[in-house]
Amino acid sequence: MTADDAQRTEISGIRPEPVGGDDPPAPPSASYARRQNLLAAAIPLVIGVIAGIMSWQLGVGGLADPGPGLWPLTVSVAMVVVAVVLLFQSRPTGGEEAFTKEARLVVVAVVSLVGYALLFETAGFEIPTVALLVLWLKVLGRESWWMTVSVALGTTAALYLMFVIGLGVSLPHRLSF
């Protein structure tokens, strides 16, 4: 609030309404906030440990002759270190917010990316890519059908042209062009 707004509030006695007309949601309890913070640290910790094990199995090599697992292992170790720091700093700060219905959209987006990765090899590049973009644009983004279909098909075609034609990357196909 600026000084002019504060002066007008003193004179009129009217306080400005919050944006959107709704009161901000109440902050979660301290125990709920602590669980949120622990979960936010545990997820990257588990992912980092699993990725580190998988990177090690690829072969790390050495600095003079790096193996395919060296850089993934480096990133995994960084993830684990940051996650451990977050675990030690998991006490509530007061800035936490309770999960809302809108937070489920993030879960849907993450699960759809996992599904995309699993379908990529078996169903090819084109079909899962169009399906993922339709899900994100229509369901998560609430775009019109015209916008959804045109962006999904256009983006898939552009990615195909860029990677397969332009860069010569071999992607799994189910559709022949």
Q: pLDDT (tens digit, 9 = 90+) per residue, 122-164?
A: 898 999 999 999 999 999 999 999 999 999 999 999 999 999 8
- Inform me whether the pLDDT recorded for 177 exceeds 80: no
For the chain, the straight-line distance linking the first and the last C-alpha, in angstroms and rounded, comes to 59
- pLDDT by residue (tens digit) across 31-87? 888 888 899 899 999 999 999 999 999 999 888 888 999 999 999 999 999 999 999
Q: Note whether 142 and 124 are within 8 A (CB).
A: no
**What is the phi/psi pair of residue 94, to 5°?**
95, -10
| Contact predicate 119/168, CB 8 Å | no
What are the pLDDT digits (tens) for 102-111? 778 888 999 9
Q: 72 is written with which tokens?
A: 């993934």
Residues 6+ apart with CB under 8 A from 135: 108, 112
